[in-house]
Amino acid sequence: MEESVDTATAILASAAVLLREHTFDDISYRALADEVGISERTVYRQYPTRAHLLAALSTWIEQTHFPLPPFVTVADFRAAVHERFRAFDALPAYAFVGARASTISLTLDAEPAYITRAIEAMLDVAASTLNRRDRRRVAASLRYFSSAMFWARLRTGFDMDAAEICDAFDRAVSTVLARLPDAASGDTGLAGEQRGRPAALWARP
């Protein structure tokens, strides 16, 4: 079993190396096998389809190159995502793998990602009066705005750099949080997020 785990990791590490010069679609199982020094059949045994490989590679890259700093407050969350977006800019080929993986159907069983659990825990404190349905909706919005897909869409669609994407992220988060009941009352400290923000971002529709 240990050998299987090591082989799977070696395949992912080799795929990451090949990404420096090739797109994911251009990386064949044969090339991976040659890079690791194993048979092509062994690669297929570990990752039966390219969807499995993409999902696993995305998770491995996130853990090894884009670990999200821990956060508790909204301010911590903003800072953590800013750091991640700067890391995406430094390794765009890796970031695009994460963005692409998020668009495919799940092929691997996995627990909710750390960032999802952390966002929900943050909202438990920052907006304690939210019902479960609304909390999930807000968490989903914040998860998307902090994702590789959001970064990739702004990078490729609008040619934005990390600083510009961070600004767009901040504005999006402010708009989402402005709709929370506790944001208006200031009971949870979210009122501090409003300082220095255009009034329009905090106006209720």
198 confidence band (pLDDT: 50, 70, 90): very low
When the pLDDT of each residue in the chain is averaged and rounded to a whole number, the result is 84
Cβ atoms 12, 56 nearer than 8 A: yes
Interatomic CA distance for residues 165 and 152, integer angstroms: 10
**3-state helix/strand/coil string of 167-199:** HHHHHHHHHHHHCCHHHHHCCCCCHHHHCCCCH
- Record the pTM: 0.79
Per residue in 109-150, pLDDT tens? 455 578 888 999 999 988 888 888 899 999 999 999 999 999
Phi-psi region of 32 (alpha: psi -120 to 50; beta: other; left: phi over 0): alpha
